[in-house]
Chains A and B, each alone.
Chain A
Amino acid sequence: MTPYLGSAELKLMSESSPETLESGKAFPQTPWTVLLNVRDENTLGSDALAELCRIYWYPVYAYIRRRGKNPEDAEDLAQGFFEGFLRRGDFATVDRAKGRLRSFLATAISHYLSQEYRRQSAARRGGGRPLVPIDADEAESRYAEEPSDELSPEKLFERKWAVTSLETVLDDLKAEYVARGKQSVFDALSGFLAGSSAVESYAAAGELCDMSESAVKMTVHRMRKRFRDLLHRRIAATVETADEVESEIRWMMATFAE
């Protein structure tokens, strides 16, 4: 019920480099819910939120594209959306009962698009440097690869949200291994993260990276554990209370099962 974090903890999420994630002890806390309550533009949370926005830029972009905008407009709109979101505290306008950044963004972006539509002022945003830098070309080439199936913009947003979350966690995990000079281990064994039937036996994998079978088991165990930790952390940053992490994970699973 109560946001369970403090502004001090916002710093933690503001740098999502693997080091920071690793050195954090238990659970990083959700930076954005505090903003909802405090509604203070000068809060430390802006940075942390900006980081979250950077990560979840693509789902928003995909959503806008699926709403029929061309790449240029989509880029501008996404940019404008996040800019307003971060700078002006647009979140005040949204029903706060939805305790998750995901549902919040979904509602907010649709709200934003209809407002933009009404204004019809195609005046290019700009004048300032982009607040949330992202390679728009990359986003567009990613979008081009999306299957043009019948997913609604909302569904697509949710789907991309889930994929992005997972990718980010996997990237973080990989970065940790790379930092320790163990990329080969990650490459050889990350397949076990999703269970074992899809990949070779532990023994076979062990041969690939010169490890005994039991060492492989142990490494996979640790890798899974670390993956879980990072996943929980990542998701915790987008929900209001710790209790919601599990249900968010289940929601993600449901998204993929559809």
Chain B
Amino acid sequence: MNRDGDTVGDCGHTIPEDAPLGMCPICLLGSHEDDSEEEVSPENSVGNFRIEGKLGEGGFAEVFQAEQLSPVRRRVALKMLRPEVATTQVLARFEAERQALALMVHPNIAAIFDAGESDSGRRWVSMEYVEGKPITEYATKHDLSWTDKLRLLLPVCRAVQHAHLKGVIHRDLKPSNILVAQVDGKAVPKVIDFGIARAIDASLTDSTLYTEVYQLVGTPSYMSPEQASFDAAAIDGRSDIYSLGVILYEMLCGTTPFASDPQVSVPVMEILRRVREDEIPKPSSHERSLKGDVEAVILKATEKDPRQRYDSAGALADEIERLLTNRPVEATVPTPFYHLGKFVRRHTVPVVAAAIALAALVIGGTVAAVQFYRAISLSEELRAKEVEARDAFRNSDFRLAAELYERRRIGDSIAHLCRALRTDPDHHASASYLLAVLTHSKFAKPNEAARNYAEGIDQIRLPVLFGSGDFGVAVGETPEDGREVLVRFGSGEAAMESFEAGFKNQIRFLTAVDLEGRFAISDGKNLQLRDFADPSAPSLTLLENTEVAALTAFPESGLVFAGSSKGELCVWEAASGNLLESIEAATSFISDLSVGREGHLLGFGTVSGGVGFWNRDLDLLRFKDEQHRGPVSKVLISKSGLVLASGDSDGMARIFRLPGLVEMTGELPHGGAIRSMAQSARYRTLAVGDSEGFTRIWDIQTGKLAAPSTGFQKSVDVLLSVASDDEFISVGGSGSVRRINAETGYGEVLPGSGTTSAVALSGNRRSMVSFSDRRKVFRTIALDHTSAFPFSGNGAAALKEPGEAGETAVQKVNDYQLIVKSNELVASLPRVSSKIVDYAVDTENHRIAMLTENSRVRIWSAISSEPLTPFLPVSEKTVKIRFTTEESLLELSNDKGGQQYFLIPPPNPVLPEWFLTFAEIFGGKEFSRDGDILALAEASLETARESIPSEAPAGVAIDHATWLLTEGRERTLIPGGRRTVAEHVDSLLELGTPAAISEVFLFDPGNPMAKERLKERGANLSPDAGIQP
């Protein structure tokens, strides 16, 4: 390809004679380092399809361009349902759409091929991919005459007629849904996206819900007046005729009837009002030559009253043919009287809230709702409707927020809550929910700006952290000569410095041996201890010229463990470098090690598929060979030291009980080699990541999947369990970092994490450092920045007196439902899915608290029956809940009478606009003007802090913002409170009871004083002991 005589590549090297295709091989190989931003596509293949790019998205689904690989190879449009909206209703709707589409076979309708479900459970439909331009654009680009435009629209009318005869209404006809493709040099229009098609025939789907949610969706400018009135009953095929009329209008006049200045964003509701009420401007007012028959046809098609329009799309087609052949048309220019009032009155059926809500969701991204409601004065009759629409819009955001929170998509949930509050600032439930989400969620958050790599350093790998995660070492590479170096990094001025590594072979292991800065390093042949202070100098050499097959350490006890290629295990004391013990544990290559029980227990796996453990206290070694068909790639000793999990390169994980090494459960199958494992002691779950990019959450007791698998990461190379034990952090080959709920498996990608190439977890498991080779930066991320802990405190708050009798009473109708009686009103709260164990009433503030069997607390409004918080996890030992005089504290009691206080939102909070911005920054997500949720690129604690106005008045908002921004010991126990965590911890230490000590661990898992106390007492207390007696 190179030009004649040009034998030097981009890189400056001479292109060798044997270069393939004459291209510079160095440039060719270098192109793999191309810095182009790859979009993080959710799935790059689905079944037989390879996804190539996104074509578009709506409220419910995304449409991808994809290549079908078998049985025939072809380009398709793949419509995939958004996983977060996959409710029963929507699934039914999706199914209906598929069936509707399958009914139609017409050359001018994009065909449907197939439907199914992806590995990760997403429903998809594959459709004919039409490569073409929207019909209006095509007409303009090819400068078609008006007769050619009519000829182009004619087959479209016939296609719509075909669909109508099959009982399918399109409901969203617009230029972008009518694409003109070139087939054999001929322009062929194709109708695509019967995305909101509703079959007239009710038997099409069993679900009646389907028709409800289907009431109104569409695109305002092309929507018929009956659609714009939320009047489902009035919608039939003639709505499509109206839309065809508008398209014809636009093709001939160059604009839609109710188009506005594109610079001014007109709220959806206003466009809908114009569609319903305003007279269509005559086409001849745009284009004088249209006066006469053409105008008459357009106006007849776009009559406000469906009965005045053409009977069928076929009739419209016939009329167009008459225009083209100069025969007289049926249509006559109508009188200016549009029967509007009558029409509107006739159809003022009750508005179906869900319908409007969905309409708002689907089309409503552009609504600057608040402005709109203030700016436009409406007629009395419509005002009520608008309020209803506003409530529906708000409710849909509120509900979606709750659902997203359940899926632990916290950032998205916050964005929806903020939009709900912008629509309706007085919606206490949304405000309350938002505070609960903010105070009870973990936020992984960069807490300082990204720092640059040292000059000339690349390919950071094997990072380890010391202290509380503020400094560390890693292996790097100098790109110019590919030499390996050691780097040390910290938060100081010189963020990163490099040192000679001094190894002949590639460095294979690097692990911290204490928290002060000592680390063990090995190139597979030599094993040395070194120090952060001078990473290039070995302070002690543990092994020389011996094969090191696996290496690990237990920094808290200062122990280093290694496994050899011959199956020996060795343990050294890091401080002295003394070999404490060694043992011949197996006969083959040790492939992985895991330490448990304060360094007394060592689990190992071998390439021969064997697993075993070595208990140094009991001098007990147990090994079982060939437990796996393939080499063991990963082992993990549980925190309790009772369970050993192992995974192999065949994609099978197993769980063994110690000390018998008896398999506890069946095999845990994965689709690819096991790459990573982490455990949550709290939920008794094991997260396993594989080379295919799936993370599966397994129940350790039963060996069953505890949650749906999460995929999409290319390969899951790292899984970390954070301090609070309720979340895993996964890092994938695709570079994105996900937070995964340890119980549910739901999770979300950390905003801005798309290029992560390596991570290290701090010793206290509360922060990590992530590296991006592509951007050459690294940053510290706090893993559980917020989250309120329940705390003890005698008499911190008094119990609330029961209210006046008869004011508000709550009654349990059955195990799953409460009813609320107040002032002769009886309302029932929604049924819950776990048994109600206890409940409490706050008569003063009309709140109800509920405790369920799965140890969750939720607060409800006794007035609106809306939830005021999500289900929030509490200690398993909780049996009783009570409101207290401190409005934002709930008292939890265990069966032994021990108490804890649990943070809940204050009653009826009002949140100012700045707080919503603050919350969005905290969650890292916000809505764009188009209604898409965007990740905020620079969401950090710093930007959050800056969003607080200096003159913000005292109150709930500033209390919470301050609380959220304060970390660790400096934070007050509750927002706006006086007592700090430090003071609380000190008083607990003073108290010194086992219960108090274990509560200290909640706030500060690594607290040295608490550890000491624990040792003194010799008590067998785990840090996660929960409520104390």
Give A contacts to B, CB under 8 Å: 1-9, 19, 22-23, 25-27, 29, 34, 37, 97, 146-147, 159, 162-163, 166-167, 170, 179-180, 190-191, 193-199, 221-222, 224-225, 227-228, 231-232, 242-243, 246-247, 249-250, 252-254, 256-257
A-contact 0/1 string along B1-37, CB 8 Å cutoff: 1110010011101001111110111111111101010
Would you call B34 and A256 a contact (CB within 8 A)? no
CB-CB under 8 A for A193 and B26, given A2-B633, A25-B692:
no
CB-CB under 8 A for A256 and B69, given A190-B21, A195-B31, A228-B31:
no
Binds A, one of B110-118, B648-656, B822-830: B648-656
Chain B residues with CB under 8 A of A22: 50, 69
Would you call A194 and B23 a contact (CB within 8 A)? yes
Q: How large is the interface on B (under 10, 10 to 19, 20 to 34, 35 or more residues)?
A: 35 or more
A121 to B52, CA, bound (A): 57
Which chain B residue lies CB-closest to A222?
B52
Would you call A6 and B25 a contact (CB within 8 A)? no
Would you call B9 and A6 a contact (CB within 8 A)? no
Would you call B6 and A198 a contact (CB within 8 A)? yes
**8 A Cβ contacts from B396-429 to A:** none
A116 to B234, CA, bound (A): 90
* B19, B32, B649: the one within 8 Å of A249 (CB): B32
A224 to B3, CA, bound (A): 20
Tell me if B903 counts as interface (CB < 8 A to partner A).
no
Would you call B32 and A5 a contact (CB within 8 A)? no
Would you call A7 and B692 a contact (CB within 8 A)? no
Which chain A residue lies CB-closest to B648?
A6
Chain B residues with CB under 8 A of A29: 649, 673, 691
Would you call B25 and A256 a contact (CB within 8 A)? yes
What 10 new A-B contacts, CB under 8 Å, besides A23-B45, A195-B30? Answer: A7-B629, A22-B69, A29-B649, A193-B23, A197-B10, A224-B36, A225-B36, A225-B38, A252-B25, A253-B30
Tell me if B733 counts as interface (CB < 8 A to partner A).
yes
Would you call B1 and A190 a contact (CB within 8 A)? yes
A214 to B765, CA, bound (A): 46
Would you call A198 and B24 a contact (CB within 8 A)? yes
Would you call B673 and A5 a contact (CB within 8 A)? yes
Chain A residues with CB under 8 A of B715: 26-27, 242
Tell me if B607 counts as interface (CB < 8 A to partner A).
yes
* B16, B20, B508, B648: the one within 8 Å of A167 (CB): B20
Would you call B29 and A198 a contact (CB within 8 A)? no
Would you call A221 and B9 a contact (CB within 8 A)? no
A-contact 0/1 string along B721-740, CB 8 Å cutoff: 00000000000010000000
Give the Cβ gap from B472 to chain A, nearest Cβ, in Å: 20
Would you call A198 and B32 a contact (CB within 8 A)? no
Chain B residues with CB under 8 A of A147: 17-18
A163 to B73, CA, bound (A): 31
Tell me if B83 counts as interface (CB < 8 A to partner A).
no
Would you call A23 and B69 a contact (CB within 8 A)? yes
Would you call A26 and B714 a contact (CB within 8 A)? yes
What does DSSP make chain A's interface, helix, strand, loop or mixed?
A: helix
A257 to B11, CA, bound (A): 10
Would you call A4 and B675 a contact (CB within 8 A)? yes
Would you call A193 and B31 a contact (CB within 8 A)? yes
A227 to B23, CA, bound (A): 14
Which chain A residue lies CB-closest to B10?
A195
Give the Cβ gap from B635 to chain A, nearest Cβ, in Å: 11
Give the Cβ gap from A231 to chain B, nearest Cβ, in Å: 6
Tell me if B630 counts as interface (CB < 8 A to partner A).
yes
Chain B residues with CB under 8 A of A3: 607, 631, 649
Considering the complex of A and B, which 4 residue pairs feature the smallest CB-CB distances, nearest first? A191-B1, A6-B650, A195-B10, A194-B27
CB-CB under 8 A for A7 and B23, given A1-B508, A1-B550, A199-B2:
no
Tell me if B592 counts as interface (CB < 8 A to partner A).
yes
Chain B residues with CB under 8 A of A247: 482, 506
Which chain A residue lies CB-closest to B651?
A6
Give the Cβ gap from B581 to chain A, nearest Cβ, in Å: 22
Tell me if B1027 counts as interface (CB < 8 A to partner A).
no
Chain B residues with CB under 8 A of A256: 13, 16, 25-26, 29
Chain B residues with CB under 8 A of A231: 29, 32
CB-CB under 8 A for A257 and B633, given A27-B691, A166-B28, A224-B31:
no
Give the Cβ gap from A27 to chain B, nearest Cβ, in Å: 7
Chain B residues with CB under 8 A of A222: 52
Which chain B residue lies CB-closest to A244?
B506
Would you call A163 and B20 a contact (CB within 8 A)? yes
Give B contacts to A, CB under 8 Å: 1-3, 6, 9-11, 13, 16-21, 23-32, 34, 36, 38, 44-45, 50, 52, 69-70, 73, 459, 461, 482, 506, 508, 524, 547, 549-550, 589, 591-592, 607-608, 629-633, 648-651, 672-673, 675, 691-693, 714-715, 733
Would you call A4 and B31 a contact (CB within 8 A)? no
A209 to B459, CA, bound (A): 38
What does DSSP make chain B's interface, helix, strand, loop or mixed?
A: loop
Chain B residues with CB under 8 A of A253: 25-26, 29-30
CB-CB under 8 A for A2 and B672, given A162-B25, A166-B25:
no
A254 to B31, CA, bound (A): 15
Chain B residues with CB under 8 A of A199: 1-3
Chain B residues with CB under 8 A of A227: 28, 31-32
* B69, B649, B693: the one within 8 Å of A19 (CB): B69
Chain A residues with CB under 8 A of B524: 1, 97
Would you call A4 and B649 a contact (CB within 8 A)? yes
Which chain B residue lies CB-closest to A188?
B1
Which chain A residue lies CB-closest to B484?
A247
Would you call B733 and A2 a contact (CB within 8 A)? no
A-B residue pairs in contact (CB < 8 Å), sample of 16: A2-B592, A6-B650, A19-B69, A22-B50, A25-B45, A26-B714, A147-B17, A159-B18, A162-B25, A191-B21, A195-B9, A198-B3, A198-B6, A198-B24, A228-B31, A242-B715
Would you call A252 and B1 a contact (CB within 8 A)? no
A249 to B34, CA, bound (A): 14
Chain B residues with CB under 8 A of A221: 36
* A5, A190, A194, A197: the one within 8 Å of B649 (CB): A5
* B50, B650, B675: the one within 8 Å of A7 (CB): B650
Would you call A252 and B10 a contact (CB within 8 A)? no
Would you call B18 and A198 a contact (CB within 8 A)? no
A5 to B650, CA, bound (A): 6
Give the Cβ gap from A52 to chain B, nearest Cβ, in Å: 18
Chain A residues with CB under 8 A of B25: 162-163, 166, 194, 252-253, 256
Would you call A257 and B13 a contact (CB within 8 A)? yes
Which chain B residue lies CB-closest to A19?
B69
Chain B residues with CB under 8 A of A159: 18
* A1, A6, A19, A198: the one within 8 Å of B1 (CB): A198
Would you call A224 and B34 a contact (CB within 8 A)? yes
Which chain B residue lies CB-closest to A200?
B3
Chain A residues with CB under 8 A of B11: 195
Which chain B residue lies CB-closest to A199?
B1
Would you call A194 and B630 a contact (CB within 8 A)? no
Which chain A residue lies CB-closest to B75?
A180
Chain A residues with CB under 8 A of B631: 2-3, 34, 37
Would you call A7 and B630 a contact (CB within 8 A)? yes
A163 to B17, CA, bound (A): 11
Chain A residues with CB under 8 A of B508: 1
Give the Cβ gap from A203 to chain B, nearest Cβ, in Å: 16
CB-CB under 8 A for A170 and B649, given A22-B69, A253-B26:
no
A204 to B714, CA, bound (A): 36
A180 to B631, CA, bound (A): 39
Would you call B73 and A179 a contact (CB within 8 A)? yes
Residue from the set A193, A194, A247 with the largest chain B CB neighbour count within 10 Å = A194
Give the Cβ gap from A205 to chain B, nearest Cβ, in Å: 10
Which chain B residue lies CB-closest to A254?
B482
Residue from the set B19, B31, B461, B547 with the largest chain A CB neighbour count within 10 Å = B31
Which chain B residue lies CB-closest to A159?
B18
A159 to B2, CA, bound (A): 21
Give the Cβ gap from A68 to chain B, nearest Cβ, in Å: 21
Chain A residues with CB under 8 A of B547: 97
A8 to B671, CA, bound (A): 10
